[in-house]
Every structure is written in C-alpha cells, then in structure tokens.
Amino acid sequence: MHRNFYFLLLLLVVFSSCKKDKVTTNSNTTTKASALDLLKDSVYAYAQEEYLWYDAMPAYNTFNPRQYTGSTDLAALQAEVDALSQLKINTTTNSAYEYDPSYPGTAKYSYIDQGQAATVIGGTGGDFGFSVFYQAYNDLRIKYVYAGSPAGNAGLVRGYKITAVNNSTNIYYDPNSSTPSKDANLLYVVNALSGNSITLTLQKPDGSTFNAVVNRASYTINPVLKYTTLTTAGGKTVGYFAFNQFTDLSSNAKAKIDEAFNYFSTKGITELVVDLRYNGGGSVQTSAYLTNWIVPTAQNGTTMFTEYFNKRLQNDDYPFLAKKYQINKGEFSTANNTQKFAKVGNLNLSRVFFLVTGNTASASELLINNLKPVMNVQIIGQTTYGKPTAFFAIPVGSYDLYLVEIENRNAAGQADYYQGMVPGSATFPGYKTGDDITKDFGDPNESMLAHALNYMDKSSYSLTNNKVLSTNTNSTLSDEAVRAMNEKMSPDPFKGMVINQPQHRKN
C-alpha cells in the first residue's frame, strides 16, 4: 500500500478534527454539537468504512454514538469502541469476534489511546521497566525486566521474589476470594505499581534479600530479553531467543535481532527456541523480519501471509476518504497486500519451538502462524491470546484510534485462532505446561524450555525429574481468573499488530 495514502489519511483526520462544531436542528431546538460528540461521530464514521466487521454496524441513529459516556473523554470514546466491537458474532463460538472472557462487554482488540502504544512500538519506555506476576497467592515475582530501564539499573532480575512493597508485607491476595481483583492487598500493590516511585524488598534465589528503589523514567526498550546457546543431553546446539516486544524495525529492533541471530549462526545451532511468552505484539514489519531469519531457505520468494481488508475497501468503496483525496484503485486488494518470504541470514532450520502464554498475542501469533505451513512448528506453554487481526493508528483529535481493519492469513489461508493457539492440539502441535517464574529466562530447568530440550533429544515432551511450579499454585481460582488478575496487576502495554510501515505490503 502506498505511503502517500497513510500520509493523506493522517491529514484528513487532523483537518476534520479542526472543523467548527456542527449545528443540529429539529423543529423545536438548535443544538451545538460538542467537540466530544464530533469525535464520537468520527469514530463511528471510520468504523462504518474501515472496520473489518463493518457489515454488523447499524445505522447512525440506531447506534447513536453520542450516547456513550465515561468519567473522561477518553473513557467515553472507549465505551463507544467497546459497544461497536461486540456487534459482529463469530458463528463458531456464538460470541463476538472481539469478546474478551476476562472483561465481557469490552473490546478484545480495538481501542483508543493518547499515543502510548505508538511510543512503546517506537522503542521508548516510560515506566519502571519491569513487570510482576503472582506465581501463587503468597508468591509475588518479578516477571521480566528491560535491560537499561530503571528496574534493570536497580538490579531487578526475573524470578526474584518480592517480599515487601513500599515497606508493607501485606501484599498477598486471598486465594478463596470470589473477586480477587477487589482484594485490599492486591489493590495496594496495583496502586503502588501505578506511582512514580516504588520501593521493593526482594529475595534472590540464594535466600539473600535487598531493597531497591525504582523511579519511573524514560528509557530505550531493548526487546531482546536474552539470547544464548544451550546444549541438550544428546549434544544438540540450541539457540535460545527471548523476545518481548515487536518494536519498530529500523529504529530499534533490527540491530538487536541481527546481533542475536548472527551469534546463533557463528555457533552453528541446529535447533531454535523463540520465547514469546509475554510478547503482546507490535510492528508487523518487525514480525516479518524475524520470520525471514527463521524460515528455511527453500521458502524464499513464496507467500508468507496476506492481509484481507473488508469488502468495502477491497471494492474501492470508501466515500469518506474519497471526498477529499484521490486513492488509487486496488490499494486494499489482496494482490497489493501479500507479503513474500525474503530469507535473511544463512540459518537453515527445519523446525522451531515457540514458548507461549496467554500474553502471547498478535504479531507474535502472526510469526507462529506464518511459519506453520512451511516448517515444523511446535508451541509449548499455555493457550495464546488469540488475535489474527491488525490495524493502523488513525488520529482522531488528540487520540489514536485502533480499529480492527485486517485479518492476516498464512500461505495455507489460515487465520483460525481467534480463541488462541492451544499447545498440543491437532492444529498446533506441542505441549501444554506452566510458566515457572521462579527461574530466569534461558534456564534449562524452567518448565517450558525443559520440555523443548527434552523433545529435541527424545521426540517426547514427558519429563520425569523436573520440578515445576504451576502458575496457579495454592489457589482455588481458575487459570483464567488468575490470568485476568495478573493482567490487572501488571497490564502489558500493548497487544496488537500495527501496520506502521505500509511499503511492506508491496509484492
């Protein structure tokens, strides 16, 4: 798709947001529409034209976008997005395509923000630089840490146990509560994590403890959490690559990916493990680039995936955009939106193992799905998030609107994972196991990695001597409830696929 189209689209929205308020007249009153009402109208108009499931949207007067309210303008706009996201029903599940079981009634994919996603994808963090997870109701752990972030500089490491937050040891939730999100101790931790500074008491694996003060600050994200090589019991050389965010390729991710995979090439790896367990997605271009490092050489030039827009756009029916700008016919056709493999490097692997959880989403799932038809792909861990769709940011006033606009299908025409990729299923071979946060990335005794290494030698995932903690230890809560609670505790900054470099759509 042409770069000029996206530039003109941005101008269109900025220009439209600067127009004077519209006057609505009926037989009795003359009402001046508020700026917020006009923004709500814009969200509706874009959805009618660009939303992948636009065909389920009712007429303006029936939907009435101006009815949605919230404590802030942003909350009101998100309420509108949530409402329109529930209209199209997936006949396979009898629920909306955007149904989120953790937060029913809200959009699983589409949302609106004030530039936060664009900042993160651009490679800039503005938080503490770490995330946490309850390994058990009485066991709060460091989930991951970005090197060079405030947390990384303070000495935090994945697996360290948190025994106190801001000098309070009352940080463990009630495992028998039916609504753990309202637990006082849990809310205390959530509030502490939302502040500008936090003091943690941490316990290392050797039992020693230390205090760390972490201040919120801006830093450059290194999306590679770790890369190393391991040797299986049978003597195979394995590359291990933990990747946490598909940040912008040219300005952030490319150099980091190249460094790791050039190292793997010099080491002569014969097996590869890609750890995406917390990777919520990001740039499609970066996902495609990483795919091209992994794909077998023989697939060079064949189809990687195709982006499918809605029928209106494919049929060049976009009057809202066409009123102001000339858009070449066929911009949204499948022919102009098919990506080919373009092999990078000299690795020529026949299979790859992916480590995944419920936080593995979108551009991460795209990577897995694109390789599935062309090599042996194994996934290990827990059911992924389930997002075979993509979008690009549309500025609406001072906000960025992300509406699902694209369904991505691999070379086999598959995009059948709206409910997530299930490890060990007929569709996604592999093994279902827990995420042991007591161990650091790349530890061969960590559950997911241990199963992958075992399979490489024995063609079996069964382990006899591995001690692994469940993510739901000592709790009566369901796995879904634990996941939802931990997401509230430490929400990941982004889940999605962004088309931020449109020239990649050219054949």
Q: Is the pLDDT of residue 503 over 60?
A: no
> Hey, what amino acid is at 355?
L
Contacts of 104 (CB under 8 A, 6+ apart): none
Domains, the chain, with CATH or none = 127-217 (2.30.42.10), 222-305+341-388+410-468+486-505 (3.90.226.10)
- How many Å apart are CA 132 and CA 158, to the nearest integer? 9
- How many Å apart are CA 63 and CA 69, to the nearest integer? 14
Q: Is the pLDDT of residue 465 over 80?
A: no
Query: What's the pLDDT score for residue 482?
Result: 59
**Contact of 196 with 126, CB cutoff 8 Å:** no
pLDDT band at residue 176 using 50, 70 and 90 as cut-offs: confident
Mean pLDDT of the chain: 87
Q: Retrieve residue 70's tokens.
A: 């919230």
Query: In terms of pLDDT, which residue wins out, 26 or 167?
Result: 167
Query: What's the pLDDT score for residue 335?
Result: 93
Residue (of 226, 253, 233) closest to 159 by Cα position: 226
Contacts of 77 (CB under 8 A, 6+ apart): 36, 39, 40, 43, 68, 70, 112, 396, 399
Q: Is the pLDDT of residue 53 over 60?
A: yes
CA torsion sign, 241 to 247 to 250 to 251?
Answer: negative
Query: What's the pLDDT score for residue 234?
Result: 96
DSSP-derived 3-state class of residue 165:
strand
**Contact of 496 with 281, CB cutoff 8 Å:** yes
Q: Is the pLDDT of residue 492 over 70?
A: no
> Hey, what amino acid is at 34?
S
What DSSP string runs through 367-379?
HHHHHTTTSEEEE
- How many Å apart are CA 50 and CA 311, to the nearest integer? 9
The radius of gyration of the chain's CA atoms, rounded to the nearest angstrom, is 23
| 458-465 contacts, C-beta under 8 A, 24 or more apart | 458/234, 461/380, 461/430, 461/431, 461/433
Sheet strands side by side (includes 399-402):
111-113, 399-402, 394-396
| pLDDT tens-place string over residues 363-372 | 999 999 999 9
Q: Is the pLDDT of residue 124 over 50?
A: yes
pLDDT band at residue 116 using 50, 70 and 90 as cut-offs: confident
DSSP-derived 3-state class of residue 167:
coil
Residue 208 burial (CB < 10 Å; 0-12/13-18/19+)?
exposed
Query: What's the pLDDT score for residue 84?
Result: 98
Query: What's the pLDDT score for residue 161?
Result: 97
Residue (of 324, 369, 352, 320) closest to 452 by Cα position: 352
DSSP H or E run through 231 = strand 224-231
Per mean pLDDT, which range of 224-228, 369-373, 495-499 is the poorest?
495-499
Q: Retrieve residue 214's tokens.
A: 């972490």
Query: What's the pLDDT score for residue 12?
Result: 37
pLDDT band at residue 118 using 50, 70 and 90 as cut-offs: confident
Q: Is the pLDDT of residue 23 over 50?
A: no
| Mean pLDDT on 153-170 | 97
Main-chain phi, psi angles of 354, to 5 degrees = -115, 135
Query: What's the pLDDT score for residue 115?
Result: 87
Per mean pLDDT, which range of 19-23, 179-183, 301-305, 407-411 is the poorest?
19-23
For residue 326, how many other CB atoms are within 10 A of its CB? Answer: 9
Query: What's the pLDDT score for residue 10?
Result: 36
* pTM for this prediction: 0.89
Q: At what angle do helices 184-193 and 479-489 cross, to 10 degrees?
A: 40
Main-chain phi, psi angles of 150, to 5 degrees = -55, -40
> Hey, what amino acid is at 148?
G
- How many Å apart are CA 407 and CA 309, to the nearest integer? 7
Query: What's the pLDDT score for residue 300?
Result: 98
Query: What's the pLDDT score for residue 25?
Result: 39
Query: What's the pLDDT score for residue 180?
Result: 67
**Contact of 304 with 291, CB cutoff 8 Å:** yes
Per mean pLDDT, which range of 121-125, 262-266, 294-298 is the poorest?
121-125
- How many Å apart are CA 462 and CA 491, to the nearest integer? 33
Max avg pLDDT among 13-17, 165-169, 317-321, 433-437: 165-169
DSSP-derived 3-state class of residue 288:
helix
Query: In terms of pLDDT, which residue wins out, 259 or 22?
Result: 259
Q: Is the pLDDT of residue 205 over 60?
A: yes
Q: Retrieve residue 8's tokens.
A: 């003109």
Q: Retrieve residue 166's tokens.
A: 């801001």
| Mean pLDDT on 225-246 | 97
| Mean pLDDT on 27-36 | 70
pLDDT band at residue 502 using 50, 70 and 90 as cut-offs: very low
Query: In terms of pLDDT, which residue wins out, 360 or 116?
Result: 360
Query: What's the pLDDT score for residue 155?
Result: 98
**Contact of 242 with 275, CB cutoff 8 Å:** yes
DSSP state for residue 35 in the 8-state scheme: H
Q: Percent of the chain beyond pLDDT 70?
A: 84
Main-chain phi, psi angles of 132, to 5 degrees = -125, 165
- How many Å apart are CA 229 and CA 184, to the nearest integer? 43
- How many Å apart are CA 112 and CA 495, to the nearest integer? 13
| pLDDT tens-place string over residues 305-349 | 999 999 999 999 988 767 645 778 998 999 999 999 999 999 999
> Hey, what amino acid is at 15?
F
| Mean pLDDT on 174-203 | 88
pLDDT band at residue 490 using 50, 70 and 90 as cut-offs: low
